[in-house]
Copies of this chain bind each other. A is one copy, B any other.
Amino acid sequence: MYTLIHQDKNSKARLGKITTAHGEFDTPAFMPVGTHATIKGLMFKDVEEAGAQIILSNAYHVYLRPGMEIIKKAGGLHKFMNWNKPILTDSGGYQVFSLALFRKMHERGVEFQSHIDGAKHFLTPEDVVGIQETLGSDIMMPLDECVAYPCTKKESQAAMERTLAWAKRAQIAHSDKPGALFGIVQGATYEDSRIECAKRLVDMDFDGYSIGGVSVGESSSLIYNIIDLVAGLLPPDKPRYAMGIGYPFDILEAVERGVDMFDCVIPTRYGRNGTAFTSGGKIAIRNAVYAEDFKSLDPKCACYTCQNFSRAYLRHLFNAKEMLGLILLSLHNVYFFLDLMRQVRQAIKDDKFSQFKQMFLMNYNNQICA
């Protein structure tokens, strides 16, 4: 499914393409997050126009609501939400870890209480693959066990062994049915655990590899170190996905270390809270300094928001508690992340990724725009 198109001459950054049953997408790729089968606040036509080639949805959330019966009757998740490009779904391992009211890991699977209504559920790795197959996901994740940061070596090791055992069971259950299945590298911040996990997953031969359990509270240098270590152990002919990463600078650091795929709720979450990402850094639109600022959020941006509305107007919408403010900032932020990836891909193609990264970060950190 992965085609390496070009390897940057001066870094590990790589340009590629991934093919799925719902079409191709270019890598490095950013996947906007559609937790409840919707990218929060945005119409899919606008998400597509902003350049999204693939989105992520959460099996955990969709399984709980609306539930698999409705998705099955709708003919799968693509049809249910009317998104006809690729969908990657996560397994719910992270959601059970971060959201469920109660959870208990068993060898057989995970027992948890829904964060919505407290109902008890039990899911095996086989169930979780089956759920994603019913969703019609193009890229699936096996059930894994996340650990908190910090955690002991012993805890991390136990979670890793479980993750590996479940990955194998997921692979057997999925077999040659449609949709790609990735292996998820866990191991917390322990280098030897990460190395072991990566090697054993590679031996199992997955369609791609995810780096899980990063950005759960540890420092940036620890994150970059683990990503660098793990990416270096993964086969060059398979895609690599850093789960839940992240901020623009995190994405650039991971791209430089050879990662191909990213997802994060940051663009829409920050948009709803009134923060816009721009080439000159972040803008808190409620700030009084923008009251009479008739420039666009980012004069370099070609999104619908920046092409049509001023900071003064957007600030007014937030002050008046108008939905359109959240919508327009979310759209801009999603566009900003997708456009960043377009620039990243062009820079790799031109063998200039490091210069691009340096220039981007200089403008971004110096608040040139704001």
Which residues in A have some Cβ–Cβ distance to B below 8 Å?
36-46, 61, 65-66, 69-70, 73-74, 80-82, 291-292, 294, 304, 308-310, 312-313, 315-317, 319-320, 322-324, 326-328
Beta-carbon contact of A70 and B327 below 8 Å: no
Q: List 16 A-B contacts (CB under 8 A).
A: A38-B317, A38-B320, A38-B322, A38-B324, A41-B324, A43-B304, A45-B308, A65-B319, A66-B312, A66-B315, A66-B319, A70-B291, A74-B294, A80-B312, A80-B313, A323-B327
Kindly list chain B residues whose C-beta atoms are within 8 Å of the C-beta of A323: 40-41, 323, 326-327
**Which residues of the other chain, B, contact A39 by a CB distance below 8 angstroms?**
324
How many copies the complex holds: the figure is: 2
Q: Which B residues are CB-close (under 8 A) to A326?
A: 323
- Return chain B residues, CB-CB under 8 Å to A327: 41, 43, 323, 327
Residue of B nearest to A320 (CB): B36
Instruction: Give the nearest-CB partner of A330 in chain B.
Output: B323
Q: Tell which of B66, B313, B319 touches A316, judged by Cβ atoms closer than 8 Å.
A: B66
Q: Pick the contact of A65 from B80, B313, B316, B324 — CB < 8 Å?
A: B316
Which of B61, B73, B294, B313 is the one whose CB lies under 8 Å from A292?
B73
In the complex, A113 Cα to B337 Cα: how many Å?
Answer: 44
Q: Could you say which residues of chain B place their CB within 8 Å of the CB of A313?
A: 37, 74, 80-82
A308 touches B82 (CB 8 A): yes
